[in-house]
Amino acid sequence: MATNTTTKKNVGSDDYALSRVPRDQRLGFWTMLLQWLAQSGSISQFTLGATIGVGMTFKGAFLAFTLGAVILEVVIFAIGLAGMREGLATPMLTRWIGFGRNGSALVSFVIAVSLVGWFGVQNTIFGTSVSALVGGPAWVWCVAAGLAITVLVIFGFRYMALFAKIVTPLFFALVAWSVTSTLADHSIGDLISSPAPGPTIPLAVAATAIAGGYMTGAIVSPEMTRYNRKGSHVFLQSASSMILSEYIVGLTGVLLGHLVKSNQVSHIVLSTSGAIGVIVVLMSTAKINDWNLYGSSLGVVNFFQVVFGKRLHRGAVTVALGLAGTLLSAVGIMTHFTEFLSVLGVAIPPVGGIVVAEYWVVRRMRKPLDETRESGTLPTSSPTWVPLSIVIWIAAFCVGKYVTVGIPALNSLATAFALYSVLGLLGLVRPYGTSALDDEDTTTAPAAPDATPVGAA
């Protein structure tokens, strides 16, 4: 009883961090679609398209974006559908799917460190960009942005969805106007048929930048899809995001790269849209970065519950992570960790490969989830360790890190999927030990005090 009282006093929403999202708390199609599309709304995607366009023809870039989009969509749908069915985020899902209770703590730690790290890095870029555009010390803008995002994430998924409803249409309307104005005086046909203006970029390198850059986001897609109502919604929404992000935003960036013969295209939007446009662009950047902080908070909650036996409130964890990430970005430390974070980016895809292999192919550990899914509860126990999964994880990471052919993130994911599928079907992947869940985690989580469906469609 004391635990529940403490939880109610916390600021913000716990967002079912250690339980299934109840069916009556799932969100409608259009609300979730805007969440997905918000992930496509970033100037950085135009820059990526322009970078590829400088080194590839439009036809080559189209093939690269197609390859990247197909890879990402397959991964997102396979793991996102599992998250939707179970109503669980990736850290909790791995307790029963592939890793066991203790293994899920390792997964949670890697995800949490990676995402909060990228939150700090993106916040640094955010502050530096604003400083260059409007003046003022970069650290001030870092603090302002970091605190604003932290406050938003404290209150959870529903308020993030509401923010997406506001920002996403504004961003794409602004970008459409700016880009259309820029391209109006040029022949689209000539830009499409023009040769690459810079050094050639191989297809594999371009596909690596496209698919590898968002692979971590694909692996943690259950953080979002657990709020979906139907599997068809997961597919349609994620596919729509891929189409918008890769084919519309990315290929428009390719055309702009051919036009200005450089990847420095962000000024096209910013210079033609005025102060309001700058604000909208910055808000859209914040809308993407809030997912880094949100996913990190879920990972930390699961990690502490497993390792220390303490159930932390997700809102309180968000405050701690947000303040830490904001402080480190303000003093300029986070930019020194980008190489380390890139290494973690290769370590996370194998988690997705193992989850997909166990949930959809091997299917030897998911039975307790099948038995409790209809009631909305969690199984009363979970495996403690799955040692061979850790071995597979390490082996797949080594393939992604040291094999120089292909896409590193995809190499590590595919290796983990193949190894786990084969060894699992042979009966060699076996859990060891059984760990009981706390009583509070085996029941359906009550609706949070702020669980009124904000903007639910």
**Cα gap 75→159, rounded to integer Å:** 27
26-40 pLDDT, tens digit per residue, is 999 999 999 999 887
* Cα dist from 247 to 176, 263, 288, 293, 404, whole Å: 14, 17, 19, 27, 27
**Cα gap 212→72, rounded to integer Å:** 9
Assign 203 to helix, strand or coil. helix
**Cα gap 237→8, rounded to integer Å:** 33
236-246 pLDDT, tens digit per residue, is 999 999 999 88
Q: Is 402 left (phi over 0), alpha (psi -120 to 50) or beta?
A: alpha
Q: Is residue 450 part of a domain?
A: no
pLDDT at residue 162 above 60? yes
Mean pLDDT of the chain: 86
Does the pTM of the predicted model rise above 0.85? yes
Window from 1-5, 298-302, 365-369 with minimum mean pLDDT: 1-5
Q: Is 456 left (phi over 0), alpha (psi -120 to 50) or beta?
A: beta
Domains identified in the chain, total number: 1
- 374 CB burial (10 A radius; 0-12, 13-18, 19+): exposed
pLDDT at residue 97 above 90? yes
292-335 pLDDT, tens digit per residue, is 999 999 999 999 999 999 999 999 999 999 999 999 888 887 76
pLDDT at residue 410 above 60? yes
172-216 pLDDT, tens digit per residue, is 888 888 788 888 888 888 889 888 888 988 887 888 778 877 888
Window from 109-123, 377-391, 398-412, 440-454 with minimum mean pLDDT: 440-454
How much of the chain exceeds pLDDT 90, in percent?
Answer: 52
DSSP code string of 299-336:
HHHHHHHHHT-----HHHHHHHHHHHHHHHHHTT-GGG
- The residue with greater pLDDT, 438 or 224, is 224
Domain containing residue 338: CATH number: 1.10.4160.10
Q: Is residue 60 part of a domain?
A: yes
Assign 198 to helix, strand or coil. coil
71-86 pLDDT, tens digit per residue, is 889 999 999 999 999 9
- Place 442 in a pLDDT band, splitting at 50, 70 and 90: very low
344-356 pLDDT, tens digit per residue, is 878 899 999 999 9
Q: Is residue 136 part of a domain?
A: yes
For residue 219, list its beta bridge partners. Answer: none
* Residue 455 near residue 227 (C-beta atoms within 8 A): no
Q: Is residue 453 part of a domain?
A: no
Q: Is residue 296 part of a domain?
A: yes
Window from 206-215, 411-420, 439-448 with minimum mean pLDDT: 439-448
Q: Is residue 361 part of a domain?
A: yes
Backbone angles phi, psi at 383, to 5 degrees: -60, 150
- Place 167 in a pLDDT band, splitting at 50, 70 and 90: confident
236-291 pLDDT, tens digit per residue, is 999 999 999 888 888 888 998 888 888 777 667 666 566 666 677 777 777 888 99
* Residue 219 near residue 396 (C-beta atoms within 8 A): no
- The residue with greater pLDDT, 379 or 409, is 379
Check residue 3 and give its pLDDT. 45
Q: Is residue 410 part of a domain?
A: yes
* Residue 401 near residue 340 (C-beta atoms within 8 A): no
Window from 56-70, 89-103, 156-170, 208-222 with minimum mean pLDDT: 208-222
Q: Is residue 456 part of a domain?
A: no
Check residue 320 and give its pLDDT. 95
DSSP code string of 21-50:
PPGGG---HHHHHHHHHHTT--HHHHHHHH
Expressed as residue numbers, the domain containing 356 is: 2-441
**Cα gap 50→175, rounded to integer Å:** 15
